[in-house]
Structure 1
C-alpha cells in the first residue's frame, strides 16, 4: 500500500469548549482526538471497520492551550493478521508561531472486524526504510512489555 494509506494528519484549532479547570485543553479531549485520528488511520489502512483494543502509554508531554493549532499525526507502525499498531503524536503551537511542539504520544492497537464483529485479516505492512524498521521494532518491544504487564496483573 502507498504511504498515503499508512498515515494521516488532522489539523484544527483547540476551542474554548475543550478547556479543563486549569485553563488548558482537557486530557480526555486529547485522548478523544487521538482515538479519532487512530481510527481514521486504521480504517483507511484496513479498508473496513475497526475497533480499538488497546491504548498504551499515553504520555502528556506539554499542555495544549485554547486557540493553539493542533496537529494529530497517526501512522501504522506494525500489522499482525487482524491488528494494526498505530503510533499517534500530537503537536501544537500558537498559530502566530512557526514551531510545533510535541505535546502527547501513544500507540493504539486496532483490530479490523467484519459485519458480525469478528476479527478479519488486514493488509500487512512491511517496513522498508531504517526508520520504519525501528518503528516496527518499537511496536514489538511494546507488545513484549504488554505481555509482561498482563501476566503480572493476572496474578492478582
Structure 2
C-alpha cells in the first residue's frame, strides 16, 4: 500500500441532466456525487476497494444550479478496524465568480473489503490538531447515537410483527 491520503476534492460543472423539475440540481445527483467522493477518500486512505455502509445526516443547505462549479470534498474523520467515517462537504459557485457556498453536508461510512467482499483492516487515523480531535469526537458521538437509533428501530420492528 502506498501513501495514505486523508482528503479528496472532486470538481465538475453541474449539467442540465442533473436538474429536477424545480430547475435545481436533483438531490439524487448530489447524493451520487457524495458517494463518489466518499469512495475516493476511503480508497485513498486505505489503499483498498471500499463499499458504502451508511450515509446519514444529509443536510441540503442551499440549491445547486446548472452551470455551477461543484466541489465535493471528503475527509476521513474516524477509522475503525475496517471502517472509515468520511465527512462530506458539497460547495458550489458560479464559475465566473468562484464564491463557494456550502450546499450540502453529511457523514458517510465506508468499509474496506478484500477480494471476497469481506471487511479488511484499514490504517488507523490519529487526529493531530484540535479541529481533528473535535471531528473525531463528533464521529464517535454520532456512531453511538446511530447505535441507539438502531436499537430503537429494532424494538419498533419487533413490535410490528
Q: Normalised by the size of structure 1, how large is the TM-score?
A: 0.96
**Contact 2:4 2:45 (8 Å CA) reproduced:** no
Classify the secondary structure of the residue corresponding to 1:145: helix
Structure 1 gap segments, 5+ residues each? none
The more displaced of 94-103 and 106-115 is: 94-103
3-state SS in 1 of match to 2:138:
helix
Aligned to 1:113: 113
Post-superposition offset of 1:4: 7.0
Paired residues, number: 155
CA drift of 1:11 comes to 0.7
Aligned position for 1:123:
123
Q: How has the CA–CA distance of structure 1 residues 145 and 89 changed in structure 2, closer, same or farther, with 3 Å as cutoff?
A: same
CA-based RMSD:
1.4
Q: Aligned partners of 1:84, 1:14: CA distance in 2, in Å? A: 28
> Could you tell me whether the CA contact under 8 Å between 2:7 and 2:73 is conserved in 1?
yes
Provide the C-alpha distance between the structure 2 equivalents of 1:34 and 1:138, rounded to a whole number of angstroms: 19
- Aligned CA distance change for structure 1 residues 48 and 27 (closer, same or farther; 3 Å): same
Q: Structure 2: how far apart are the matches of 1:17 and 1:34?
A: 17
Q: Point out 4+ residue stretches in structure 1 off by more than 3 angstroms.
A: none
* Cα drift, residue 98 of structure 1: 3.2
Q: Does 1:135 align with 2:139?
A: no
User: SS of the residue aligned with 1:75?
Assistant: strand
Unaligned runs of 5+ in 2: 157-161
